Structure 1
Amino acid sequence: MNREQLEHAIRAACTVSEDHELIIFGSQAILGQFPDAPPELRKSIEVDVSPKNRPEAVDKIDGALGENSPFHKTHGFYVHGVPIETAKLPKGWEKRTNMVQDYMDENNIGYCIEAHDLAASKLIAFREKDTEFVRRLILDEMIDVDTLLKRLKVIDAEKEIKDRAIRWAERISR
């Protein structure tokens, strides 16, 4: 996926949800802060979004733009409507988002989760694809490990899950 496709996904999801503001919180949120992110970070063909003002519209997004939809078949990527509450994010994430707005479309806005917040969330999930994503962010010096550790410490997660994520981040930084 690239930035142009992300902007297309935002326009489409805003139209379907009848909400002009979305929160982008899956891996493709990285395109908000790093429009030219390395290809390894842009492998996903899925954009996870939650309508900011109409959270109940996630099912409408999934139905119209989700996996195996005509939108997916036409464009080669899809939009997954997901309640933002499913993501484990550090306290204060709302103030650190990166705004994505197509210069041709001033009405629709995607608020992409900031890279350190995204990395912290992925380390809490701790799937192989998530740790590889965070490893790439660190190796490419797109995030700072000290900042990541601070974000992990203020994330609302079970202690053992949070501790595992912190240990992983400390180990990778050596």
Structure 2
Amino acid sequence: MNREQLEHAIRAACTVSEDQELIIFGSQAILGQFPDAPSELRKSIEVDVSPKNKPEAVDKIDGALGENSLFHKTHGFYVHGVPIETAKLPKGWEKRTNKVQDYMDGNYLGYCIEAHDLAASKLIAFREKDTEFVRRLILEEMIDIDTLLKRLKVTDAEKEIKERAIRWAERIAENL
């Protein structure tokens, strides 16, 4: 995926949801802060979005733009409508988003989760693809370990899950 495709996803999801603002919180949110992110971070063909003002429209997005939809088959990527509550994000994430404005229609906005917040969320999920994504962010010096640790500490998650994520980040820091 690239920034132009992200903007296309924003335009399409805003149109379908009848909301002019979206929150982008999956891995492709990295394109908000780093439009030219390394290709290893842009492998996903899925954009996770939640309408900011009409959260109930996630199913409309998923139905019209989701996996195996005509949109997916036509454009080679898809938009996954997901409630923002499914992501475990650090406190204050809303103030740190990166605004992406669709170049074809300036009325449509995507608020991409900031890189450290995205990394914290990925480590809470702790799937292999998520830890690889965070490892790449660290290796590319796109995030700072100390900031990541601070964000993990203010993420609302079960104690054991949060501690596992913090231990992982600390081990990575020791090995750098």
TM-score band, normalised by shorter chain: over 0.9
User: Residue 100 of structure 1: SS of its match in structure 2?
Assistant: strand
Q: Which stretch of structure 1 is more off in the superposition, 19-28 or 103-112?
A: 103-112
How far off its partner does 1:70 sit?
Answer: 0.2
Q: How far, CA to CA, are the matches of 1:163 and 1:15 in structure 2?
A: 40
Q: How far, CA to CA, are the matches of 1:85 and 1:166 in structure 2?
A: 21
Deviations 1:99-157 (A, max 9, x none): 00023311000000000000000000000000000000000000000000000000000
Unaligned runs of at least 5 residues, structure 1:
none
Residue 111 of structure 1 pairs with residue 111 of structure 2: yes
TM-score normalised by the chain length of structure 1 = 0.98
Q: How far, CA to CA, are the matches of 1:106 and 1:28 in structure 2?
A: 20
Q: How far, CA to CA, are the matches of 2:105 and 2:119 in structure 1?
A: 29
How many residues align? The count is 172
Deviations 1:63-93 (A, max 9, x none): 0000000000000000000000000000000
Overall identity of the aligned pairs, in %: 93
TM alignment of 1:125-164, pairs within 5 A: 125-164=125-164
User: Residue 49 of structure 1: SS of its match in structure 2?
Assistant: strand
Structure 1's consecutive aligned runs of 4 or more residues displaced over 2 angstroms after TM superposition are: none
Contact 2:7 2:103 (8 Å CA) reproduced: no
TM-score normalised by the chain length of structure 2 = 0.97
How far off its partner does 1:61 sit?
Answer: 0.2
Unaligned runs of at least 5 residues, structure 2:
none
What is the aligned partner in structure 2 of residue 171 from structure 1?
171
